[in-house]
Amino acid sequence: MSPMPMPVVSRRLRFFKALRNILLWCGVVAAFHFIFAYVSENEPFLHAFLALFTWRYLRLIGNIIGFYYYRPAIPLSNRLRYIPSRDVTVVIPTVDPNDKNFTECVESVAFNRPAKIVVVTVGQSLHTVAQAKVNALRYRFRDTQFVVDHSNVANKRHQIAKGISKAATPIITFIDDTAVWGPNMLQSILYAFEEDPHVGLVGTNKWVRRVSGLSPWARIWNVLGATYLIRHNFEIRATNAIDGGIFVVSGRTYAMRAELCKDPEFLAGYTNEMFFFGLLGPLNPDDDNYNTRFAVRRGWKIKIQYTPESEMITTIGVTNGMSKFLSQCCRWARTTWRSNVCSLITDRSIWAEQWWCIYAVYLTSLTNFALIIDPLLITLAAMAPALPNVITLPCLVGWILFTKVIKVFPYYRMHPQDLWTFPAYVGFAYFHSLIKFWALVTFWDCAWSGRKLEDVNKQAANPQSIELRNLSPPTDNAVASSNGHTNGHTNDLCQQHSGHSSSGSAVTPGQQQQLW
């Protein structure tokens, strides 16, 4: 199959598109200013309230419209250009193939029947372990070629780059070793490439499994992890439907055209990305943000495939619940500061390509401190003489609570037994403002929390120095396994997400597909 032609965006065209979008938003701001001045009759507190309220919530209203306007990619004919068994390589980077859930991850990928699965670990010792784990699957999935390789350092970017070098298919898909797919994931992803030849990067919706048997304290952190990703689902579906933009295509699962990720410029920057005007780095995290920015800069479209078949399942907020989740939130918040500022100032491609995301993702991310803005809104409303406080303040508080509910409603609808955690969710939404501020003042910290990468590197340098079983703390998915989600039982996850109890019994691939 001949490769699709790369999109070409001239600098001149991009300049005029950026100028158009800037003038558009200048016009919008001017229009709102005149409207607010007329309505408030130049009363300063009312004018400030209207301006701040609009800045904060115009994004939400637009995203609600975009969320329901969204349509997933569907096959245009029965003759498909791409099929998993011929056209897809899946790359799985891992630093702990001893983890039971590594096998679960690889098995869930193999059920999709890709042409090749490439596992990339760290050092010769872990290579041997990963090889043994993969060999157990070879005879069950004879149509898929399995390749195991390793890098010399525990660096996800270097591992993925090595995996890319092993791929010879037009589509390359990537998955974290803590994620699990349904059996139709790859085919659903491929529909996005079928529908539009200019789509170069595809992301999917995510779900966090509800682990059974947790204490109330542990349940809170499991729910916070679930709602964190569900909020992302809302954002990426909405903004992608409006202007094709997105704040990031999650690194947990994504697919790229080979001509995009095999581009020498992509690989050079991917494995040696600096930040803060080239003064700091190179980065190990933020790899998914790099992918997103590079695709936009090269003129490729991004598509979010948001369907039940394309849903990726993972676990967050269980093992070492509070400490691990908070450290992850700090890392994610630092990524937001680094990447969004880069998109606005250094890269600048989004100014031409994503008219809605300029405001709804990038600019508002710099001011989104609920702990400051929500009390300030209430204060301005109370001080505006034209607003009747008896009516306005209760309505405003009700509106603020409504905005906290709408994005996470899918989780509480599916798990109403967790409604008691909603106050904790609201409280954490305000506490996250402190996390975000701390991330700003420590943006230079690019450590990857959650795994003992230093120990992995020592093991790679000296294979006899560390016992393989102690390379990393138990993962969230390992806890899930101990609660009845046994290794390899992908259908149990599907049952749980469908509202059924998990029995832990094995099923056939055909039964598994029906559950998804």
Residue 508 lies in a domain: no
Residue 487 lies in a domain: no
- Tell me the backbone φ, ψ of residue 92, rounded to 5 degrees: -125, 100
Residue 458 pLDDT: 61
- Flag whether pLDDT at 508 surpasses 50: no
CB neighbours of 416 closer than 8 A, spacing ≥ 6? none
Residue 3's alpha-carbon distances to 44, 81, 117, 190, in angstroms, are 59, 11, 21, 15
Number of structural domains the chain divides into: 1
Q: Give the pLDDT confidence of 344-395 residue by residue, as tens digits.
A: 999 999 999 999 999 999 999 999 999 999 999 999 999 999 888 889 999 9
Confidence of residue 489 (pLDDT cuts 50, 70, 90): very low
Residue 9 pLDDT: 73
Residue 270 pLDDT: 97
Question: Of all residues in the chain, what percent are helix, strand and coil, respectively (each to 5)?
Answer: 60, 10, 35
Residue 288 lies in a domain: yes
Q: From 257, 446, 431, 245, select the one nearest 337 (Cα to Cα).
A: 446
Residue 79 pLDDT: 86
Residue 320 pLDDT: 74
In whole angstroms, give the CA distance from residue 240 to residue 41. 38
For residue 148, what are the domain limits?
A: 7-466
What average pLDDT does the structure give for the chain?
88
Residue 486 lies in a domain: no
Q: Are 80 and 193 in contact (CB under 8 A)?
A: no
| Amino acid identity for residue 272 in this structure | N
For the domain that residue 173 is a member of, what is the CATH number?
3.90.550.10
Q: Give the pLDDT confidence of 188-208 residue by residue, as tens digits.
A: 999 999 999 999 999 999 999
Residue 481 lies in a domain: no
- Average pLDDT on 258-262 reads 96
DSSP E strands, 337-420: none
- Flag whether pLDDT at 481 surpasses 80: no
Residue 479 lies in a domain: no
Residue 512 lies in a domain: no
CA terminus-to-terminus distance, the chain: 31
Share of the chain above pLDDT 70, in %: 85
Q: Give the pLDDT confidence of 131-171 residue by residue, as tens digits.
A: 999 999 999 999 999 999 999 999 999 999 999 999 999 99
In whole angstroms, give the CA distance from residue 104 to residue 178. 9
Residue 498 lies in a domain: no
Residue 182 pLDDT: 96
205 CB neighbour count, 10 Å cutoff: 22
- Flag whether pLDDT at 498 surpasses 80: no
458 CB burial (10 A radius; 0-12, 13-18, 19+): middle
Q: Give the pLDDT confidence of 7-53 residue by residue, as tens digits.
A: 667 889 999 999 999 999 999 999 999 999 999 998 999 999 999 99
Task: Kindly report which listed range (233-237, 392-396, 416-420, 502-506) carries the lowest average pLDDT score.
Answer: 502-506
Question: How do strand 199-204 and strand 116-122 relate by DSSP bridges?
Answer: unpaired
Q: Give the pLDDT confidence of 210-224 residue by residue, as tens digits.
A: 999 999 999 999 999
